[in-house]
Structure 1
Amino acid sequence: MIAPPFAAFTESEHRSRIARAREDLAAAGYDGCIIVAPENLFYLVGYDSVSANICPQALILSVHDKRDPTLLVRNLDLPLVKETSWLTDVQTYQLFVDDVAGLVAKIATDQGIAKGRLGLDMQSPAVTGSYTRALESAMSAARLEDVSHILNRIQLIKSPAEIHYMREAASYANLGLEAARRTLQPGVSEFALCAAVEVAARAAGSDYPALPTECGSGTRSVSGHATAMPKIIGKDELVHLEFAGVARRYHSVSMVTMATGDPGIVARRLYDVGRESLLAGLEECRPGAQVADIDIASRKPIERAGLDQAAQMRFGVGIGIAYPPIWLSSLQIDRFSSGTLVPGMTFYVHSWLSLGREGLGVMLGGTYLVTETGIEALSGAGPVDLLTV
């Protein structure tokens, strides 16, 4: 069989992932699974398309029957399947004409799982409330439960091929970082600064990101997830950015806070504490480290500075395959979670501090790979001194 022209992985790698999904789903007591999230479809069968966030689709997987899963997509999207996936059991429907949930139920019946305990990746934005209700109605004899955690868990440790894409994505993110440093100056708009970042990454080969470029300058720096506005960046302002480079849907995030001149003693102190926090957290990142211990360590410099209320974000989160509207994975690096760093995991961290009354905010961080002996920095400015232009 000829490989699809834009396949990101070999068929054998996908089949090993399907086998692992079946094993974990069976161990949890499931008879099968209905998979909708585009990142899960891409991971398991290679189908690369944003269409799951536009119209209903599903991969129906039997746990006990070892036949290939069946993919149901809109007829318009069939060429997208053929160019990225090796899967041959593909069925189509006509939008607004066919009963999609009814077709899913028929496929599940053919696979002998329509009356069983079935998983559904309910935490995905692609699994809308109306689609869930339609599936429950069409398969009233089945019991649908959320298995997002199972499907996410098998993606946490990256294969060598996945790590290659993570490093490629990081190269694009770092080009965006260089462009931000070259472009920033008083009088440049937030739109123009973000455009320079995005052009640098995309021109080099980056795929589209799952989230827009984050940018906050001046008093807007106090916002943690600000997107660019038609604001002209002034002199002596803090400016922070967060954006991703993307290679075959694998994301690597860069973060940086810079200043246009002298932002003032309070801003510089805030940045220095953020830098100490990032360093303290990174020093705890190693194979076998508990995520709670990492977050606790990152908070100690903040607590010593009396800035507890300025720290409102978790220290880090896992990252890998992503589609709009989000690039987070299930790995949480915070003091409220349990989990252990394992070689092959990729994550990004941020030291985020904001002072609402003063209108100041800083963001430092980047993306890292857990190796056999420690961590490897992939992208982001990291714990550097404040860059001023």
Structure 2
Amino acid sequence: MLELAFPLTTYRDRLTDVQARMRATGLDAMLVTMPDAVHWLTGVDSVGYLWPQALIVPAQDGGEPLFVTRTTEEPGVDACSWLSHRRFYDISVTDPVQALIEAISDLGFGSARLGIETEAFTMLPSTYQQIVAAFPDATVSDCSYLVPEARLIKTEAELAYQRQAAAIADYAMTIVFENIRPGISELELAGIAAGALGEAGGEHAAIPPMVVSGERSALVHCMAGRRVLGRGDVVCVELAGVVHRYHAVLMRTATVGEPGPRVREVAELQKQSHLAAIDRTAPGVAVHEPEDAARAVLEPAGLHKNRCHRIGYSLGVAYPPGWLEPMTMVQGDPHVFAPGMSFTVEPNLHLPEEGFGLKLGETVECTSSGPRTMSGLDHELFIA
């Protein structure tokens, strides 16, 4: 039975839009290798992207794409995608890159204007070099952002999946907080988070739940370790609910017992900066302005220097190892907020010199009437 998250007409509309974008940029065909882009266009849902594979998309309106992947993936492609043009290679006897080269040649694109995602972990330099060398008459250009840009404005159906994912994330965070106590380890809490996400119907996320505590709470992107929580510890938790691969990210901070005055002070300023940033994600606003708003709160207190990365980025469909889409809330990004965009807002702070860090973030959508957070949790420091 075919398993698709949307009606077939949705995928056809997406393909038509992408093909129009291809023609506008002068492409005859392109190789799509990033798993989120392949899934968004076709429904394919597997970890087959660990080996060379590609969706070869012709630019002509109505042209059918060809998916080239391993024989192992055939049952999943049949079950999860609408594709009728598929080619499978046996990895035990066939060079995967040669399989891609043969498919490009057979489709008549050997001397075409060919797009390749060069900014993709799924396009190894050696693979790229072999493809370019095989087609000296082709004009090769980068198409890394063509499909991601088409995904930035989401439909109501897509946003509905993200809202479901956000509710799952809220549930998991609540369960984690209920289990914070002296003597429990970061790994145990991360396991509880994963279990709660699955219990609520969440799929595997592009990044597993992250839990750091005590002095490790300043290590923003570290995985959970074997450290055992003690009284007075700060505990940072980041996780994501996922529905039909649509992600909703959630970040919160707790303390084991009453926090010290400095932790309280910084947490309050972080909350104010977070709310100020969300307020600047309205339609027509340049995407760097939330960072400006957060800076206005944090800089007078000397905390802007402790902001550890961009304050937000767009997200939606994602696979390991990451969940970012191309819009990022930094100076120089040309995007402007528009209804249908969804993104994180996360003014995370790390103060390693003071022995702690704080996380506060969630998924927000831009509506015609302004920003709306997808999380139902408050923004207060949680005291366990």
Give the Cα separation in 2 of the matches to 1:101 and 1:357: 49
SS of the aligned residue for 1:106 comes to: helix
Alpha-carbon shift at residue 291 of structure 1 (Å): 0.7
Give the Cα separation in 1 of the matches to 2:62 and 2:281: 39
Contact 1:254 1:380 in 2 (8 A): no
AA at the equivalent of 1:121: E
Give the Cα separation in 1 of the matches to 2:92 and 2:141: 27
Alignment equivalent of 2:262, drawn from 249, 262, 266: 266
What corresponds to 1:40 in structure 2?
Answer: 37
Alignment equivalent of 1:26, drawn from 23, 30, 41: 23
Give the Cα separation in 2 of the matches to 1:355 and 1:159: 39
Alpha-carbon shift at residue 312 of structure 1 (Å): 2.3
- Cα RMSD (Å): 1.5
Alpha-carbon shift at residue 199 of structure 1 (Å): 0.7
Q: Does 1:385 align with 2:383?
A: no
Contact 1:62 1:111 in 2 (8 A): no
Alpha-carbon shift at residue 105 of structure 1 (Å): 2.7
Alpha-carbon shift at residue 112 of structure 1 (Å): 2.8
TM-score between both structures, scaled by the size of structure 2: 0.96
5+ residue gaps, structure 2, are: none
Question: Which aligned pairs between 1:119-268 and structure 2 lie closer than 5 A?
Answer: 119-268=115-264
Give the Cα separation in 2 of the matches to 1:73 and 1:137: 21
SS of the aligned residue for 1:122 comes to: coil
Give the Cα separation in 1 of the matches to 2:368 and 2:61: 36
Alpha-carbon shift at residue 381 of structure 1 (Å): 4.2
AA at the equivalent of 1:126: T
Alpha-carbon shift at residue 302 of structure 1 (Å): 0.7
Alignment equivalent of 1:285, drawn from 281, 285, 290: 281
TM-score between both structures, scaled by the size of structure 1: 0.95
Cα 1:138–1:101, aligned 2, differ >3 Å: closer, same or farther?
A: farther
Give the Cα separation in 1 of the matches to 2:371 and 2:305: 29
**How many residues get paired?**
384
Contact 1:281 1:298 in 2 (8 A): yes
Give the Cα separation in 2 of the matches to 1:136 and 1:379: 46
Give the Cα separation in 1 of the matches to 2:354 and 2:222: 17
1:158-212 alpha-carbon deviations (Å, 9 max, x no partner)? 1222112111211211111111121111221111111111111101211100111
1:93-144 alpha-carbon deviations (Å, 9 max, x no partner)? 0104223333323332333322122111222222222222222222232233
Alpha-carbon shift at residue 281 of structure 1 (Å): 0.5
5+ residue gaps, structure 1, are: none
What corresponds to 1:318 in structure 2?
Answer: 314
Q: Does 1:371 align with 2:361?
A: no
AA at the equivalent of 2:324: L
What corresponds to 1:59 in structure 2?
Answer: 55
Alignment equivalent of 1:68, drawn from 60, 64, 68: 64
Between stretches 172-181 and 60-69, larger displacement belongs to 60-69
AA at the equivalent of 2:103: I
Q: Does 1:347 align with 2:364?
A: no
AA at the equivalent of 2:381: L
Give the Cα separation in 2 of the matches to 1:174 and 1:124: 31
